[in-house]
Amino acid sequence: MSKLVIAARNRQSKGSGEARKIRRAGRIPAVLYGRSGKALSIDVDALGFANGIKTISASTIVKVEVDGKTYDAFVKDTQRNMVDGSILHVDFYEVESDVTVRARVTVHLKGNPAGVREGGILENPLQQIEVESLPKDLPERIELDISGLGVNQYIYVKNIPLAAGVRVLTPADKTVVLVKYSKDASAAAASEDAAAK
């Protein structure tokens, strides 16, 4: 998948008054934090950024272009207006190709579990797992096929297949997804057992 490219400009002036002026011009104040601890004040196009982030996750690496120089980075934080939801400020965190990164990767469930068709209830207590890898190996999301999951069956973190070079940091015994009987189904099963005795 090609990386989202975000065009940015160097921002010399700082302060709340300058930030308001930038927002009125249709741009968003932002900071690009380098791995060395240095921070670069920038601004990005508000509409382009808002549309672009709809397609990314917390583990997506984007390209930030600032005055001809390109940085690979995570979108680490977006501050929003509590009234209208508009983005007020963005924090980017630079990544380097030869340095491992940690990220939380979203688990996307695919399929309709067999156990749900039998009356069970699907639960997904863990929507993200934390991993560590080089940026080139970092998955944007994890697709997990749950169509074969029956009633009273579980998928744990240790059951998730990942590419070589990706190390899972979330405990292996954590439950990602399960199908369990509904209370009504459990009561009906108990009644049938009692009647059979």
What band does 196 get if pLDDT is binned at 50, 70 and 90? very low
Res. 37 pLDDT band, cuts 50 70 90: confident
pLDDT digit string (tens) for 80-91? 999 998 999 999
What's the pTM?
Answer: 0.75
Q: Is the pLDDT of residue 191 over 50?
A: no
Residue 52 host element (H or E): helix 46-52
Beta bridge pairs of residue 103: 131
Express as a percent the part of the chain with pLDDT over 90.
Answer: 69
Q: What is the pLDDT of residue 197?
A: 52
CB 89 within 8 A of CB 110: no
From 107, 92, 77, select the one nearest 168 (Cα to Cα). Answer: 107
Give me 177's structure tokens: 């997804």
Residue 110, C-beta contacts closer than 8 angstroms, at least 6 positions apart: 143, 144, 145, 146, 147
